[in-house]
Structure 1
Amino acid sequence: MSTFAKPENALKRAEELVNVGQKQAALQALHDLITSKRYRAWQKTLERIMFKYVELCVDMRKGRFAKDGLIQYRIICQQVNVSSLEEVIKHFMHLSTEKAEQARTQAQALEDALDVEDLEADKRPEDLMLSYVSGEKGKDRSDREVVTPWFKFLWETYRTVLEILRNNSKLEALYAMTAHRAFQFCKQYKRTTEFRRLCEIIRNHLANLNKYRDQRDRPDLSAPESLQLYLDTRIEQLKIATDLELWQEAFRSVEDIHGLMSLVKKSPKPSLMVVYYAKLTDIFWVSDSHLYHAYAWFKLFTLQKSYNKNLSQKELQLIASSVLLAALAVTPYDQNHGASHLELENVKERNLRMASLINFTLDPKGESREVLSRSSLISELTNKGVMTCVSQEVKDIFNLLENEFLPLDLASRVQPLLAKISKLSGKLSSASSVPEVQLAKYVPALEKLTTLRVLQQVSQVYQSIKVKTLLNMIPFFDFSRVEKLSVDAVKYNFLAMKVDHLKGAVIFGNLNIESDELSNHLAVLAKSLNKVRDLIYPPVKKQSKLGEKYDLSEIVDKEHKRLLARKSIIEKRKEEHERQMLEMEREEESKRLKLQKVTEEAEQKRLAEEYIRREEQRIRREIEERELQEAQALLLETQKGAKKKGKKPLLEGEKVTKQSLLELALSEQLKERQELEKKLQKLAKTMDYMERAKREEEAQLIEQAFQQRLVEEKILHEQEQLKEIELSRKHHAGDLQEKNRLARMLDNKNVFQQRIVSRRETEYNRLKKEREDKINQIVAMRKREREIKRKLLYYLKSEEERLARLQEEEEARKREEEERRKKEEVERKAKLDAIAERQRQRERELEEKERLRREALLRKPEPVSQPTDPAPGPHPAEPVPAPAPAAASAAPAAGKYVPRFRRETSDAQRPAPAGPSETDRWGRQDDRNPQPGGDRWRNDDRRPSFGGPRSSSSTWSSSRAR
């Protein structure tokens, strides 16, 4: 027989064992065959043996045997025939999957078969009893007995294959395919626990790959093909994790993908990045990290706009609207207010970590990194042109919530816009990896933002407001929800307010006078009031531009304002200079620290490299010494064997080197191995002949033993049947006797039953009567309560009507009293006006009489001469009136000033005195001789002269009194 026929015989023997039902023996024989080194030279036949081996492992659900066999076959094939190993593994997984599906189909068929009306017709009594005792349904029991073992084996198959294929550059594609199939298995059957374990297995494989870099056939992650396979596997892992809603595993998958991407400088494909950011949006939204969710949407929008050429304008508008709404959904205040230094450091570290996950282009060597915040995101959206792509409803919402000041009707304007955007949704046909855009999910966050904006703006206008009024302004939530939102806002210093539940009012605290919010609000209020004033009272243009130009008050005000502005500018410049100096000092300090850090890192790196170099040299020396010792030991053993066999010792008298020792040892080992293989081949041939002869001799004996066993079992079966029939007859006769014996107690049983029934009936009637009495009492009591309540309500209503009537009468009396008082006031004022009018009339009459009397006095004749020594009187210096009766027409009007030349003219024209007798200024005759030149006052140029005569002393006194 040729040597090629030997593995064929082993395979035939295994098939014969399977045909006679000895699968365990066949499996053990094939396992021993594979683990031995006899048939490694026959690859084709060994592949057929492996196919049969995995089939037996699947039929018997022997996962341990399958793993050992596949590991041995990998050792044989991974260097010379990797495709054969791939085919065997694919066949193994195909059989496991097929068996699991068959078990599932069988369980479904059993469930459909058990879905009948009469359970006793289709089930045995033993099945019914088992179902009553165990409490399990037919499907649960069938799944536990039929489906679960096969699914356990399928899961074990995936784990085995992944363990065999891990960290091998020649099996990367098969490893990725197996991982994808395992992910689909977890997704199809909702196996969350197995999915977590699978992710951990794959994560450990990658960790070991990075840890042991000197491993043989290790995949090179810097190669594009290898990196793409690993990235595809992690992307699939991320998809399945989000589909199963395992968000923690999804986030860990994101970190794995980011770690793989950071290994190479080349950016991954845009299609992978789209899936990456799309899943990040779902993860951050579920975790209530709205800021990171908005940043992920912004990156997704940038990718779609840059690389997706098939993106329509409507789809771009939908994505841009989602980006802007996600940014608006972020809480408008900093939730780290009041946190400790350690918490702030943790938040900063988390922000940097999330920034690295969201944006891979951040410069790790930069002096400062931009902190993720809501304001910076909105400014970034404005700068990158996202606002130009959003829909009009979303743009209106943004303007209302971020730019307008409408505390009274802000919510009423936002509410219809929210109703419109809640209907906007759609699936992107040009980007299948992007999930369906649902704008309705942002509505609760926007309602919360609107509530906060209303509270913020109302707090800037009012000091207090009624709760009912505030709820009318906020139609989204009830007051408990609004109060909860306000508590968070006050906690993080976004609002200053408190709620007075006793008065039903909301009181807003006094903000800082120098705060930006209050200053801006006052400026806006001043502008609005100026506009209103200009509308009510239009400004009047000044007639003279010169007066406007030289208005001193305005010039002073302008100069004062200019000086104040100059002073503030100088102060700001000083502050800016100090701030710049501080920044320069900080920068210099940071540069010094960085330089020191770089120097220390370089020194540590040099020391580490020096230590690694010394360790490598030491290990290399130890390896060389060990190899030399092993070679010398091998040479000594070879020389001892040669001496025993009478051969000549090797290299006697020659100089022995390490290479020569190794060559000699390997040659001797090769010779011994060849001799051993020849002996084994001869022994195998002898064993084959012996085994065949033994089986040919024992075949007839086995057949005879089988026939004899059939006859014995038939006789035993007949005897057992006869015994069972006799036992059944005895049981039946005993049951009849027991029935006759118990029939005597039937009357007693009926009497006892009637007694029990009557007693329970009496008890039931008693309880029923008590219950009815109790119900009647309750009904009567409630009736009395209703009557009392009705009377009390009637009394309260009548009392309220009486009080209202009394109040109306009191108000009517007050109104009458008020009218009477007003009427008396009017009459009193009228009387006072009449008295004042009469008084004014009397004064006018007195003035008229006085005027007439003065005119009469002015018409009296003037005395010719004035005595030298004027007569005593109240006014000795008063001038003498000049005009005479004859010259009345030429005299000036009474009470007017008369110039000197007119007085002289009138004196010259006046006739000479008739005699020595003259009247004085009071109309009396003066016996004294006057001076030749007239009276002394008239000739004195130093005294003024008045044209009219003075009134008497009594008249002058009455005038002064008036």
Structure 2
Amino acid sequence: MATFAKPENALKRAEELINVGQKQDALQALHDLITSKRYRAWQKTHEKIMFKYIELCVDMRRGRFAKDGLIQYRIICQQVNVNSLEEVIKHFMDLSTKKAELARSQAQALEDALDVDDLEADKRPEDLMLSYVSGEKGKDRSDRELVTPWFKFLWETYRTVLEILRNNSKLMALYADTAHRAFQFCKQYKRTTEFRRLCEIIRNHLANLNKYRDQRDRPDLTAPESLHFYLDTRFEQLKVATELELWQEAFRSVEDIYGLTSMVKKMPKSSLMAVYYAKLTEIFWISSSHLYHAYAWFKLFQLQKSFNKNLNQKDLQLIASSVLLAALSAPPYDHLKTASHLELEHEKERNLRMYNLIGFNIDAKQHETREVLSRSSLLADLVSKGVMTYVTQEVKDLYYLLENEFLPLDLTSKVQPLLVKISKLGGKVVSASSVPEVQLSHYIPALEKVATLRLLQQVSQVYQTMKVETLSKMVPFFDFSAVERISVEAVKHNFIAMKIDHMKGAVIFDDLGFESDVLQDHLSALAVNLNKSRSMIYPSQTKASKLSAMLLSLGDIVDKEHKKLLARKSIIEKRKEDQERHLLEMEREEETKRLKLQKKTEEAEQKRLASEFEERKHQRILREIEEREQQEAQALLNDVGKRIKKKGKKPPIIEGEKVTTQTLMVLAMQEQLRERQEMEKKMQKLIKTMDHFERAKREEAAPLIETAFQNRLAEEKVLHEREQQLEVERSRLRHDGDVKEKHRLARVMEHKMEFQERVVSRRQAEYNRMRSEREERLSQVLKARKEERDIKRKMLYFLRTEEERLTRLREEEEVRKRQEAEKRKKEEIERWAKLDEIAERQRKREQELEERERLRKEAILRGTPVDVPAKLPSDLPGPGSAAPAPAPAAAAPAAAAAAGGGSKYVPRFRRGAPAEPAAPPASVPSDRWGSGKADDRGAPPAGDKWRPSFGGSGGGTGKSWSSSKFSR
């Protein structure tokens, strides 16, 4: 097929071979076609041929063929049509993934399917025999036969694609996507070995990219898009490594991210940095590097506080608490106090490395002048940066107990309840998705160890000796063996000085060094003590000396202030210089951009000229290829004719059309097919001949084999009889020797029995003694338990009686309160009844007064004498009523004038009216509150009750009618 002139014929012939089951021939023909020079001239059908070629490679699992074809296709499409290469590679990966998933689903279906003929039988005989022979289960066997080959091919596919795309700047997105798919493959199927290899492959690709900088299509790492793809790939690698718990590979991924950012001198986005520090916290915690873990948490806290605008107060408090607990969990002593010079150098390099990984901004010169990573400096930074304002109260109290308080006897008893409360805190940080789930209970073991170290340190400053039992009671977290291990580690690093005497059961807190170490500063200690004694004896001189010291220190203060001003001046000058340098750099960058733009324009012009030259060259090559194909077709035709003539046949005659390589290939394949059929006929004939020959040989050899078998039986029978006689003789000799040995050992039997009796008697006495001791010990324990039960029973009786007494008192109190409430309610009811009765009498009296007043007014208007009864039946003395008064004297003249008895003329309209307003009748009683006025509002409605109202509006009498359901 490599000699075909048209790609459509090549595709058609490949499909025919596939239909007849000759996939291998079709794949080989397409491979030869793709790797030939002619293939490069077929621009229009490249993608179709590659799709068919890729499908054949995937079906037959030929990864090497696929790699060769893709390399050739990359050479063709790199400068012309890179999108076609991208589509082919995507198709290749999709097909491989689908085949792997299909194989996995088929293996699962084979495992789950019910494929038995007899439902009462557990397994078929064939399955049982196969399991006994192979020694593996059905699922393992099906996975090995179906799933594993496809997974190997899928893994080879990812490696091939990464290798092809590693130096292609135009397909960086596809390279990153392939790496992500490979990571997900390793994560989904727990392929740790392949994940390590994948990380190493990507690492080598970046190293080669930096090593060979003069490649044509090399990606530019300074470009933002390329940097984004590379960083995104490394962060995905870091995530998958932590999820697979490959912590060493995760740390190497962190180093890769740092190396990449150092290479391009540009920091990633804050969201990626949050993921970076979150993974660093997990890595350092797994490696038990508590100090580095705390620094990583501190950086993560600063990042979230600065850039996360959605961070709520609760999540910020949780993160801050985790930061402080991580810092407190670090050991409070320095590991390098007893280290050698070589170890110090190694630790210095390690700290520099961790500085760079955690901070991204510390170089070697800064490291020389900056303090080494330490617990004290970290806690000071936390206090100065305001982290303490966000932590919970329990964590804050724990910090003050461990770092600021001096409680040698009560430290652990106060720390333990705080640790119990802290262990219940934690949870998912909702407003920061990149932050891992915070569980403060992880820090409890380390905090218990730190609390124990602080206790030992404080106790060693107060006591010289202490009993082991007392120290064990003071540390509720660990038993004494664990405390001993912690103290040994602390003594090793010169944190405390102590010694444990197990013979005496005591702990000695003292400096256990040489005597010379104690005496080397005794003179200075004596001088300090004498100075203190002098200040106590002569306090005035002490005050004067303090004043003189203060006056002397004023000069130092002035010098310090002067130095601060000079330093501030130098800082201002330095900032001015930095600003000027920054402006110069900006101008230089603008000039560089202009030069780059000019260079790009020139390069584009050169590319256009080169492309025109390449096009002319391409047309010339096509013409040469066409001529060469004609020559090859003629030579192939001559070769076929010669080969056919040798066999005595007539050569084929081609007429009517131009001889092409495709026509000659068809003739060659037909001749090859004819030769293969003739060879198969010859082989069938030869096989039949060999069968007859083999049958004849076996028929002749059968009697000879039987004779040899009979001879071998006779020889073996004679050999068996001889061996049996030898075995009888050996047995007789062994028996005689055993009898002699028995007689020899019978002489010491008595001594053996005596020794045995002595040993048995001694062991019996020891057993009796231990048994009596055990019984005595058990009796003491039983007696103690009995006393404990009696005390407990008495205590329970006391508690029960006390509880009954308290219950009875509460019931009596409730009864008393209920009786008082009923009594108050009854008194209230009686009071309201009396008030209702008084109101009813008052209402009747007011009605009678109103009737009397009405009659009097009518009589006055008629001009008739007022004939009102002196006392109405209802004018009986009652509560609150006054005695009746006589009628006024002016009433009689008025009546006489009205009757016409006088000489003076009285107008008609004045005849019925008195000369002056009449006073109210004396018999009208005043109301209850002495207002002297009757309420003219009428009687209350039925069912209502009267109640006085104080403070009514309108200046009334002070009384009001109200409904019964509102008045009470």
- State TM-score, norm by structure 1: 0.60
> Which of 680, 689, 695 lines up with 2:628 in the alignment?
680
Asked if 2 retains the 8 angstrom alpha-carbon contact of 1:4 and 1:42, the reply is no
Tell me the CA shift for residue 322 of structure 1.
0.7
Tell me the CA shift for residue 480 of structure 1.
1.7
Tell me the CA shift for residue 23 of structure 1.
2.6
Tell me the CA shift for residue 124 of structure 1.
5.1
Give the residue type in structure 1 aligned to 2:248: Q
Tell me the CA shift for residue 102 of structure 1.
3.1
Asked if 1 retains the 8 angstrom alpha-carbon contact of 2:317 and 2:390, the reply is yes
Q: Which residue does 2:856 correspond to in 1?
A: none
Tell me the CA shift for residue 335 of structure 1.
0.8
Q: Deviations over 1:153-202 (max 9, x none)?
A: 22222111111100211010111111111111222222222212211111
Tell me the CA shift for residue 558 of structure 1.
3.5
Q: Which residue does 1:148 correspond to in 2?
A: 148
Give the residue type in structure 2 aligned to 1:388: T
2:112 and 2:249 map into 1 onto residues whose CA distance is 37
2:385 and 2:685 map into 1 onto residues whose CA distance is 94
Asked if 2 retains the 8 angstrom alpha-carbon contact of 1:284 and 1:293, the reply is yes
Aligned residue for 2:45, secondary structure, equals helix
Q: Which residue does 2:462 correspond to in 1?
A: 461
1:381 and 1:791 map into 2 onto residues whose CA distance is 66
Q: Which residue does 1:845 correspond to in 2?
A: none
Give the residue type in structure 2 aligned to 1:680: R
Asked if 2 retains the 8 angstrom alpha-carbon contact of 1:238 and 1:253, the reply is yes
Tell me the CA shift for residue 721 of structure 1.
14
| Alpha-carbon distance change, 502 to 788 in structure 1, aligned in 2, over 3 angstroms | closer
| Alpha-carbon distance change, 387 to 581 in structure 1, aligned in 2, over 3 angstroms | closer
Q: Which residue does 1:426 correspond to in 2?
A: 427
Give the residue type in structure 1 aligned to 2:630: K
Give the residue type in structure 1 aligned to 2:61: R
The reply on whether 1:279 has 2:259 as its aligned counterpart is no
Asked if 2 retains the 8 angstrom alpha-carbon contact of 1:104 and 1:147, the reply is yes
Give the residue type in structure 2 aligned to 1:562: K
Q: Which residue does 2:905 correspond to in 1?
A: none
Asked if 2 retains the 8 angstrom alpha-carbon contact of 1:67 and 1:160, the reply is yes
Q: Deviations over 1:19-74 (max 9, x none)?
A: 33333322221111111121223334121111222222223322222211111110
Give the residue type in structure 1 aligned to 2:540: E
Asked if 2 retains the 8 angstrom alpha-carbon contact of 1:54 and 1:66, the reply is yes
Asked if 1 retains the 8 angstrom alpha-carbon contact of 2:281 and 2:296, the reply is yes
The reply on whether 1:689 has 2:663 as its aligned counterpart is yes
2:201 and 2:152 map into 1 onto residues whose CA distance is 17
| Alpha-carbon distance change, 668 to 308 in structure 1, aligned in 2, over 3 angstroms | closer
Q: Which residue does 1:561 correspond to in 2?
A: 542
Give the residue type in structure 2 aligned to 1:405: F
User: Where do 1:337-348 residues align within 5 Å?
Assistant: 337-348=337-348
Give the residue type in structure 1 aligned to 2:444: V
Tell me the CA shift for residue 386 of structure 1.
1.4
Q: Deviations over 1:184-232 (max 9, x none)?
A: 1222222222212211111111111112222111111111111010000
The reply on whether 1:21 has 2:21 as its aligned counterpart is yes
Q: Which residue does 2:167 correspond to in 1?
A: 167
Give the residue type in structure 2 aligned to 1:565: K
The reply on whether 1:99 has 2:99 as its aligned counterpart is yes
1:247 and 1:688 map into 2 onto residues whose CA distance is 60
Q: Which residue does 2:123 correspond to in 1?
A: 118
Q: Which residue does 2:840 correspond to in 1?
A: none
Give the residue type in structure 2 aligned to 1:42: W
Tell me the CA shift for residue 717 of structure 1.
11
Tell me the CA shift for residue 714 of structure 1.
12
Aligned residue for 1:12, secondary structure, equals helix
| Alpha-carbon distance change, 139 to 717 in structure 1, aligned in 2, over 3 angstroms | farther
Q: Deviations over 1:446-501 (max 9, x none)?
A: 00000001001111111111010001000111222111111121121211111111
Q: Which residue does 2:6 correspond to in 1?
A: 6
User: Where do 1:291-690 residues align within 5 Å?
Assistant: 291-362=291-362, 368-510=369-511, 557-565=538-546, 673=621, 675-683=623-631, 686-690=660-664
Q: Which residue does 1:267 correspond to in 2?
A: 267
Q: Which residue does 2:204 correspond to in 1?
A: 204
Aligned residue for 2:469, secondary structure, equals helix
The reply on whether 1:180 has 2:180 as its aligned counterpart is yes
User: Where do 1:731-742 residues align within 5 Å?
Assistant: none
Give the residue type in structure 1 aligned to 2:122: E
| Alpha-carbon distance change, 781 to 276 in structure 1, aligned in 2, over 3 angstroms | same
The reply on whether 1:216 has 2:216 as its aligned counterpart is yes
Q: Deviations over 1:97-146 (max 9, x none)?
A: 22333333344444456998335264556x643x2xxx444444444444
Aligned residue for 2:39, secondary structure, equals coil
| Alpha-carbon distance change, 315 to 711 in structure 1, aligned in 2, over 3 angstroms | farther
Asked if 1 retains the 8 angstrom alpha-carbon contact of 2:352 and 2:364, the reply is no
Give the residue type in structure 1 aligned to 2:440: L
Q: Deviations over 1:309-368 (max 9, x none)?
A: 222222222111111100000111111002223322322222122111111244776593
Give the residue type in structure 2 aligned to 1:461: V
Asked if 2 retains the 8 angstrom alpha-carbon contact of 1:35 and 1:69, the reply is yes
Asked if 1 retains the 8 angstrom alpha-carbon contact of 2:4 and 2:10, the reply is no
Q: Which residue does 1:838 correspond to in 2?
A: none
Tell me the CA shift for residue 666 of structure 1.
10
1:211 and 1:795 map into 2 onto residues whose CA distance is 83
Asked if 1 retains the 8 angstrom alpha-carbon contact of 2:499 and 2:507, the reply is yes
1:796 and 1:96 map into 2 onto residues whose CA distance is 75
Q: Which residue does 1:242 correspond to in 2?
A: 242
1:160 and 1:458 map into 2 onto residues whose CA distance is 66
| Alpha-carbon distance change, 689 to 396 in structure 1, aligned in 2, over 3 angstroms | same
Asked if 1 retains the 8 angstrom alpha-carbon contact of 2:4 and 2:662, the reply is no
Give the residue type in structure 2 aligned to 1:191: R
Give the residue type in structure 2 aligned to 1:305: K
User: Where do 1:563-962 residues align within 5 Å?
Assistant: 563-565=544-546, 673=621, 675-683=623-631, 686-695=660-669, 785=763, 790=768
2:220 and 2:44 map into 1 onto residues whose CA distance is 31
| Alpha-carbon distance change, 213 to 790 in structure 1, aligned in 2, over 3 angstroms | same
Give the residue type in structure 1 aligned to 2:18: V
Q: Which residue does 2:76 correspond to in 1?
A: 76
Give the residue type in structure 2 aligned to 1:50: M
Number of residues paired by the alignment? 682
Q: Structure 1 vs Structure 2: percent identity of aligned residues?
A: 65
Deviates more, 1:182-191 or 1:704-713: 704-713
1:121 and 1:34 map into 2 onto residues whose CA distance is 47
The reply on whether 1:57 has 2:57 as its aligned counterpart is yes
| Alpha-carbon distance change, 294 to 76 in structure 1, aligned in 2, over 3 angstroms | same
Aligned residue for 2:507, secondary structure, equals strand
Asked if 2 retains the 8 angstrom alpha-carbon contact of 1:318 and 1:437, the reply is yes
| Alpha-carbon distance change, 722 to 109 in structure 1, aligned in 2, over 3 angstroms | farther
| Alpha-carbon distance change, 483 to 720 in structure 1, aligned in 2, over 3 angstroms | same
1:46 and 1:716 map into 2 onto residues whose CA distance is 51
- Greater RCO (CA < 8 Å, at least 6 residues apart): 2
2:44 and 2:558 map into 1 onto residues whose CA distance is 85
Q: Which residue does 1:42 correspond to in 2?
A: 42
Aligned residue for 2:309, secondary structure, equals coil
| Alpha-carbon distance change, 38 to 343 in structure 1, aligned in 2, over 3 angstroms | same
1:704 and 1:297 map into 2 onto residues whose CA distance is 81
1:795 and 1:563 map into 2 onto residues whose CA distance is 77
Asked if 1 retains the 8 angstrom alpha-carbon contact of 2:401 and 2:411, the reply is yes
